[in-house]
Chains A and B, each alone.
Chain A
Amino acid sequence: MSAELAILASLALPLAGAVLIAFAGRIGVNVREAATMLIAGALALIVWSLVPAVAAGERPQVSVAEVLPGIELAFAVEPLGMLFAALASMLWIVNSLYSIGYMRGNEEANQTRFYALFAVSLGATVGVAFAANLFTLFLFYEVLTLSTYPLVAHKGDRQSVASARVYLVVLLSTSIVLFLPAIIWTYLVAGSGDFTLGGVLAGKLEGAGVGVLLLLFVFGIGKAAVMPVHPWLPAAMVAPTPVSALLHAVAVVKAGVFAITKVIIYIFGVEHLAGAFGADLLVFIAAFTIIAASIVALRQTNLKRLLAYSTVAQLSYVVMAIALLTPLAGIGAAVHIVAHAFGKITLFFAAGAIYTAAHKTEITELRGIGRRMPVTMMAFTIGALSMIGVPPTGGFVSKWYILAGAYQADSMLALVTILASTVLNAAYLLPIIYLAWFAREDEGDGTPPARVHGEAPWPAVLALGLTAALTVGFFVFHGAALDIARQLLAGF
């Protein structure tokens, strides 16, 4: 299969898959789930088939249509997008496996809709990853927002509808009011929005305009959840856990930081941005978000909300890293997208497994649960360590590069932030691990355990075991990702 065909196929497959799943849903649940797994597998195969070529320095591209004069619907694969697409397509398989266990275990309604829309959002994610210009990126960015909205509102009760409304309003309004004008501005100034090495704005826009435009992009890309546009992320916690995993690890927030990274490298151009006021400000904003979100996380009692704030903080690592504008930090940003995905998906899978098996959502309820669900809690522990950045987990690798990048940039602020946040991460994650493993179930208020339970259904356990293995594995085998990420250095 030629590379161009592979790009188109990787976009069309999930969308066609969505329709297929919708029809398969009429035949039977097993058929539907088999179809989901098949499509996820096929997508991963196609996307990964592009990896060797991209690693070898090729940049396959394809243009589908010219929407307006000068504005094309076009795709191009570059290292960062390759990394993102490879990550998303791989995690979809695991996530589907987990979904089967979770959705069945909790007897959720409207499962066909769930699987179909899941496929659509994966298609949109691949579109974001492969977008060759700002317009195409924006198009799929919006499709991703819209296709995940029903997933967030999946339960359909008052609370989830209200939360989904927050989700939609924040993401859509930032994208329309800030992101879109930024894009139009870019096209007007540069005459093009194509992602070009060295940046299309270089030499076209100077002075305060650069800073303003950068801020428009950063806050316009609400999916990156830089404060103060983060509230959608905790609100979206009402969604079923596989959806949370999709939001936090596979697609949505990753699409956000991915877009910011791409804009900085390929639209502004690292060199062009180096002297600008906006970049320093961005480091500051990201640092603030990291610290503030971590402190808020400390005060959470609900497990999933805690994890959500943790995500807000971790995303800003990426934003801060790329805003440092040094090569090592750039690599760190790219690798952190992957490392965080593995860790965070493990944490969410574990939280979901706990909910499925024990119907527990609050941290205080987790006393001694490690003894009932050892596999789950082991995975949770690994994920938590990765968040903190302790070896032997993937989180260590990326944090290492970001730290090194901060040294390179001579940014005291970044160094202090990373160290402080590491302490904070430990402070909110370690107590959970302690409770789960070392506290006794009947301690505290003395109420006996509500129900006797073991592990969650096997597909879920298998899935979270896999992601935990990936988290550890990434510590050792991150060479491929690093190879691809190194190619980004051309932009520095």
Chain B
Amino acid sequence: MRSKGRISHDGKIRFARGEALLAPHLPHLPHLPMLQVLVPLLMAPFVLLLHPRGLAWAAATAASLMAFAIAVVLALTVVGDAPLTYQVGRWPAPYGIELRVDDFSALLLLVITGASSVTLLGGWQSLARALPSARQPYYFSAWLLALTGFVGIAVSADAFNIFVFMEVSSLASYVLIAGGPDRRALSAVFKYLIMGTVGATFYLVGIGLVYMMTGTLNLADMAVRISDVADTRPVLLAAGFITVGLALKAAIFPLHIWLPNAYAYAPHIATAFLAACATKVALYVLLRFDFVVLQHSASEHAVQFAGYLMPLAVLGILVGSGVAIFERDLKRLLAFSSVAQIGYMLLGASLVTIAGLNAAILHMFNHALAKGGLFLVVAAFCTVAASSQLEQIGGIARKMPWTFAAFVVCGLSLIGVPGTAGFLSKWYLVTAALDYGALGIALVGVILVSSLMAVVYIWRVVESACFAGEFGDDADSDSETAAVPPLLFIAVWIVALANLYFGLASALPIELAASAANLLMGNAP
């Protein structure tokens, strides 16, 4: 990555124009935003018909990898450059549906497709074990549909289209979670379904009210037209509905109650995928809407955003971390940690400064790396342990030292130790908070205290994995390769190394996040 970047005089790392680099080889470049959605979308029905063992998985993985490749090209194309737009059906923008890939969506696309590819790649044995083979085509089809939904949201520039793809992703996510072996997965999914649908419907009401007042659904058009009606009651109400609805989907404290059980009882691999991107997509829409559409027209909007959401973010950080410390199940522990981490992102956004947004967006990327990796390791642990209870994995580090080492790396990234990706977003967040005046110092205190709490809960796991339990005391690594499927092992280490790589050479995500933050605050990139 670095070789492509060059450092301009103002100290920012800029990329060579990707399009110029890639265009001669890629005739379909203008269609890429569309293909990003179409590849998983059209592969999903195919996968449903692939019954021979393993074929559905292979096809799904191939589609996901292809989507990842497209996301990489898109990211390199838009970084530090104008966004790509695409008129579906060639109908002009406010009338037809427009797709739009800018730095923010490019970053999110990388996260989504990357998470899907790595987890699918590593997840074959784990999923094959959890699901009877007759049900596998359905599952992998649902997986691709979830992927379709997520990327569909990320590339869309149309409020209602986002709703449609939100529903695609939600329904598919319910299926992914319901595949869990424990019956508690079912009750968890039902709760998720109810809360998720309520959230989506709130969003629908919100955009309905905005549509009523502006007559348009295109986000950019909406942002312009809303200034005439900015402080009318329906718009205020719409802001409320949209924020609450998306907060439900993003599991923002205290609307997170669906999340811990849903993550805990889903198949391990699906948890890794969803934990890496599901809530972030909702947060993405929230930021888009609140900043691009509402921010500049509704007076006092910044104050409201900060005033209502910042306390929630702080509470979420503290409560999430606090509960995680006392949690006995590894997956639930990590799920509560996710609640706290979403709090970080929200906290950055609620500062309503470029630096704060930059931190929030960068943390979306880095948290996906850390949490995705941790859940993948859990999946690896569970190939030998009976469950993800902390007692059950006691001493597992002696059985699989290398897998465990990956856990430590990702855990350190989650804590925010320097040299790992997580450190960079914490750094930005603290810097942004320090710019915020007296309250900022208190926020720094919160961030630091919760980092310590993260140390505590990660170290509880490390201690029990190293020193407790009854796994045999053989440090013989041959048993590890026998126990952990090789693909999963590779996937785990890809993510762990990515945590280290992006801790040192993070030019691409930082550049994307910085221009995304500028974009949201209304400055041209």
Direct contact of A and B (CB under 8 A): yes
Chain B residues near A73 (CB-CB < 8 A): 504
> Is there an interface contact between B424 and A177, defined as CB atoms closer than 8 Å?
no
> Is there an interface contact between B463 and A65, defined as CB atoms closer than 8 Å?
no
Q: Which of the residues B2, B475, B507 comes within 8 Å of A112, measured between beta carbons?
A: B475
B12 located at the interface, meaning its Cβ lies under 8 Å from any Cβ of chain A in the complex? yes
Chain A residues near B12 (CB-CB < 8 A): 69
Q: How many inter-chain residue pairs (CB < 8 Å) link A and B? A: 79
> Is there an interface contact between B431 and A169, defined as CB atoms closer than 8 Å?
no
A67 located at the interface, meaning its Cβ lies under 8 Å from any Cβ of chain B in the complex? yes
A184 located at the interface, meaning its Cβ lies under 8 Å from any Cβ of chain B in the complex? yes
A110 located at the interface, meaning its Cβ lies under 8 Å from any Cβ of chain B in the complex? yes
Given contacts A135-B418, A153-B467, A188-B431, contact A176 B11 (CB under 8 A): no
A→B interface (CB under 8 Å)? 26, 64-70, 73, 109-110, 112-113, 135, 138-139, 142-143, 146, 150, 153, 156, 161, 165, 168-169, 172-173, 176-177, 180-181, 184-185, 187-188
Chain A residues near B431 (CB-CB < 8 A): 184, 187-188
Give 14 new A-B contacts, CB below 8 A, not counting A109-B473, A172-B452, A188-B434: A65-B504, A70-B11, A110-B475, A112-B475, A113-B475, A142-B419, A146-B408, A153-B467, A161-B463, A172-B455, A176-B416, A176-B452, A184-B430, A187-B431
Q: Which of the residues A64, A109, A161, A177 comes within 8 Å of B467, measured between beta carbons?
A: A161
> Is there an interface contact between B430 and A181, defined as CB atoms closer than 8 Å?
yes
B→A interface (CB under 8 Å)? 2, 7, 11-13, 401, 408, 412, 415-419, 424, 427-428, 430-431, 434, 444, 448-449, 451-452, 455-456, 459, 463, 466-467, 473, 475, 477, 503-507, 510
User: In angstroms, how far is the closest chain B Cβ from the Cβ of A166?
Assistant: 12
Chain B residues near A26 (CB-CB < 8 A): 477
> Is there an interface contact between A146 and B434, defined as CB atoms closer than 8 Å?
no
> Is there an interface contact between B424 and A68, defined as CB atoms closer than 8 Å?
yes
Shortest Cβ distance from B428 into A: residue: A68
Shortest Cβ distance from B445 into A: residue: A177
> Is there an interface contact between B434 and A184, defined as CB atoms closer than 8 Å?
yes
Given contacts A69-B11, A138-B418, contact A169 B448 (CB under 8 A): no
Q: Which of the residues A139, A153, A177, A188 comes within 8 Å of B448, measured between beta carbons?
A: A177
> Is there an interface contact between A169 and B455, defined as CB atoms closer than 8 Å?
yes
> Is there an interface contact between A69 and B13, defined as CB atoms closer than 8 Å?
yes
Shortest Cβ distance from B476 into A: residue: A26
> Is there an interface contact between A67 and B448, defined as CB atoms closer than 8 Å?
no
User: In angstroms, how far is the closest chain B Cβ from the Cβ of A142?
Assistant: 5
> Is there an interface contact between B504 and A156, defined as CB atoms closer than 8 Å?
no
User: In angstroms, how far is the closest chain B Cβ from the Cβ of A186?
Assistant: 12
Greatest chain A CB density within 10 A among B418, B427, B475 is at B418
Given contacts A65-B504, A165-B463, A184-B434, contact A142 B418 (CB under 8 A): yes
User: In angstroms, how far is the closest chain B Cβ from the Cβ of A146?
Assistant: 7
A113 to B473, CA, bound (A): 13
A168 to B460, CA, bound (A): 12
Chain B residues near A180 (CB-CB < 8 A): 430, 448
User: In angstroms, how far is the closest chain A Cβ from the Cβ of B473?
Assistant: 8
Shortest Cβ distance from A172 into B: residue: B455
Given contacts A139-B418, A143-B419, A161-B467, contact A65 B434 (CB under 8 A): no
Shortest Cβ distance from B455 into A: residue: A172
> Is there an interface contact between B466 and A156, defined as CB atoms closer than 8 Å?
yes
Given contacts A184-B434, A185-B434, contact A139 B419 (CB under 8 A): yes
Shortest Cβ distance from B418 into A: residue: A139
Chain B residues near A153 (CB-CB < 8 A): 466-467
> Is there an interface contact between A150 and B466, defined as CB atoms closer than 8 Å?
yes
A142 to B413, CA, bound (A): 12
Given contacts A66-B7, A146-B412, contact A177 B427 (CB under 8 A): no
A181 to B445, CA, bound (A): 10
Chain B residues near A143 (CB-CB < 8 A): 419
User: In angstroms, how far is the closest chain B Cβ from the Cβ of A391?
Assistant: 43
> Is there an interface contact between B506 and A67, defined as CB atoms closer than 8 Å?
yes
User: In angstroms, how far is the closest chain A Cβ from the Cβ of B46?
Assistant: 43
A173 to B449, CA, bound (A): 9
Shortest Cβ distance from B510 into A: residue: A68
Shortest Cβ distance from B452 into A: residue: A173
A252 to B424, CA, bound (A): 25
A161 to B394, CA, bound (A): 14
> Is there an interface contact between B455 and A173, defined as CB atoms closer than 8 Å?
yes
Q: Can you list 10 A-B pairs with a CB-CB distance of less than 8 A?
A: A66-B13, A69-B12, A113-B401, A135-B418, A146-B408, A150-B466, A161-B463, A176-B448, A176-B451, A177-B452
A181 to B416, CA, bound (A): 13
Chain A residues near B449 (CB-CB < 8 A): 177
Given contacts A65-B2, A69-B11, contact A168 B459 (CB under 8 A): yes
A113 to B402, CA, bound (A): 12
A161 to B455, CA, bound (A): 16
Chain A residues near B430 (CB-CB < 8 A): 180-181, 184
Chain B residues near A185 (CB-CB < 8 A): 434
Closest 5 CB pairs of A and B: A139-B418, A69-B11, A139-B419, A177-B448, A161-B467
Shortest Cβ distance from B417 into A: residue: A142
Chain B residues near A168 (CB-CB < 8 A): 455, 459
A180 to B417, CA, bound (A): 10
Chain A residues near B507 (CB-CB < 8 A): 66
Shortest Cβ distance from B419 into A: residue: A139
A254 to B452, CA, bound (A): 25
A70 to B475, CA, bound (A): 43
Chain A residues near B466 (CB-CB < 8 A): 150, 153, 156
A132 to B48, CA, bound (A): 57
A66 to B6, CA, bound (A): 11
Chain A residues near B504 (CB-CB < 8 A): 64-65, 67, 73
A139 to B7, CA, bound (A): 23
A373 to B7, CA, bound (A): 63
Shortest Cβ distance from A137 into B: residue: B418
User: In angstroms, how far is the closest chain A Cβ from the Cβ of B115?
Assistant: 23
A491 to B95, CA, bound (A): 69
A169 to B505, CA, bound (A): 29
> Is there an interface contact between B448 and A181, defined as CB atoms closer than 8 Å?
yes
Given contacts A168-B459, A177-B452, contact A156 B467 (CB under 8 A): yes
Shortest Cβ distance from B504 into A: residue: A65
A181 to B448, CA, bound (A): 9
> Is there an interface contact between A67 and B467, defined as CB atoms closer than 8 Å?
no
